[in-house]
A and B are shown apart, each in its own frame.
Chain A
Amino acid sequence: MNFNAFSSMRAFRIWDYRVSHDQLLLRSAKIKGYNENIDIIFYGVNYIQLSPELSGLTIQKMVPPFAAPYESVVQNLEFEGNNLFEIVSGRDVYLVAAAYVRVFENNLEFDESSLGQTEQGKGLEIGSIS
């Protein structure tokens, strides 16, 4: 099972969630030593099992066959566009079911979310996992 992944040593937090297109934002906020936020946006989210704070993370799309946690997740994964992403932080392993993930760098302020922004407003896209 080969797949690509995104990894960062920075600390992330669950920052925002929007019902529209079921978007979940994890942010590593710009702080001393880092001039930009890293915003990880999951689209089409239908399952979240995640700590609100993550000290470093690696995200990778799981490739079937794999064990899914709940029947509802299994049912959602029957639709071709839905995927299961594994998030490893330290020794902990979390799961998010979503369609795809996009990662941006931006200079948004603490109270500004990249969800709901125009494409340009989200910042510089540095990658995606699908």
Chain B
Amino acid sequence: MFVAAGTGAVIGSGVGAGIYLSGILAKPTLTSLGIAGAEYVATHPGEVNHAINSAGRLVANNSDKVERIAFGVREHLDKFTARVEATNYKQWGPGDFQSQFLEKIASPSTRIHFNLDGITNVMKAVQQGSRGYQNAGSVTNWELYQIYSQPEVLQRTTFYLNGIVVASPF
């Protein structure tokens, strides 16, 4: 949706008629990837609301109020997000990311999944993140610092490395 005022102009609707190189793409909706039961329990600490689907796999119960959010460096983020059945900033919609992030992690019902892949020195990243959003070197550093510096948030965070749950680095 585009809402605008000022110099730009709003065009109501149109037809995406571009013809490019490959076949027609029908974009699928994100659906549960159905991670196996043991992994589900490991990756969803404190979440008791789940169900067993027809294939005998534990899946998230969408009726619960727990929100899962995912973070990590960009190279791994989307696949990681899908794997832990969370959302990342791309799905939160346009807005002030800093406010969105702080609001989400502050909620006691939010479970945070942080992928450490690609972060070679966690404490250095935290140190850089402590310089503030604008001076952190990367948004991921700032995110990590925010989690590190808030024990209650850290408690709701699950860390991953090389695809498996690992102990908190803090």
Contacts and interface: CB of A to CB of B under 8 A. Distances in A.
Interface of A: 1-8, 10, 19-22, 34, 36, 38, 43-44, 58, 60, 62-71, 74, 76-82, 86, 93, 95, 99-103, 105, 116-119, 124, 126-130
A21 B97 contact: yes
B12 A68 contact: no
Given A67-B21, A69-B22, A117-B134, A126 B90 contact: no
A99 B89 contact: yes
Contacts of A21: 74, 89, 97, 139
Contacts of A93: 18
A116 B1 CA distance: 24
Contact of B21 (A4, A38, A69): A69
23 contacts: A1-B14, A2-B14, A4-B1, A6-B2, A6-B4, A6-B9, A10-B7, A21-B74, A63-B16, A67-B19, A67-B21, A69-B22, A80-B29, A82-B78, A99-B91, A105-B6, A116-B134, A118-B133, A119-B99, A126-B5, A127-B4, A127-B8, A128-B1
In the A-B complex, the 6 residue pairs with the smallest Cβ-Cβ separation, listed nearest first, are A81-B90, A127-B4, A99-B90, A128-B94, A80-B30, A4-B2
Q: Is the interface of A mostly helix, strand, loop or mixed?
A: mixed
Contacts of A82: 78, 90
| Residue from B6, B18, B133 having most chain A Cβ neighbours under 10 A | B18
A129 B8 contact: no
A3 B23 CA distance: 22
A20 to B, nearest CB: 4
Contacts of A63: 16
B170 interface: no
Given A5-B10, A38-B8, A58-B11, A67 B23 contact: yes
